[in-house]
Chains A and B, each alone.
Chain A
């Protein structure tokens, strides 16, 4: 039973455009959410996070939006760059910390030059 769902396995966007990666969760106890980026043969790299007390967090080209009532979050990348091409994982924690993360299956983003 997937508690964190990334229903679209892949996304392709044109360089310079916006990439929107979606994530849904079912566990209402989750209170901390993270996005990780993964290149082939490397471990996941932390990208951005958001606490459940916020609905938006921005870091440069990356913005994460949280809709608690819908149990939905999204990662916006704008403008998208070819180097953003990777697998993006949504993750959640119910301890307000990073101690035990529940990951989605990931979405493969391809940014076309």
Chain B
């Protein structure tokens, strides 16, 4: 597709479980970002990739959160030992470089019960 694609669109998991959220960026975009949006809040920065490497991971809340982008394209956000407070919409965005407009996907709504 032409836009940023995120799968799944919805994910319900039990507290303590492990989840993976996938992001397919726009083809050719070198920069990829993960944000988290909690209810009533704006998106909150988590991590920024330039190519395969994490250029800035200062937004990851704790060591239960980890993200990879092994081939510089698809990225996976991994959350271990999920907690109810992790429930949010996880947004992925990509841009041609780090200095150009970022295009967002529709997000994955994660619910931890």
Contact = CB atoms under 8 A, between A and B. Distances in A.
Contact of B98 (A4, A89, A91, A98): A98
B101 A98 contact: yes
A94 to B, nearest CB: 12
Given A44-B91, A104-B42, A105-B41, A99 B106 contact: no
B55 to A, nearest CB: 7
* Tier of interface size on chain A: 20 to 34
The secondary structure that dominates the A interface is loop
Contacts of A101: 33, 35, 43, 45, 102
Contacts of A53: none
Contacts of A91: 42
A100 to B, nearest CB: 5
Contact of A99 (B40, B44, B98, B105): B98
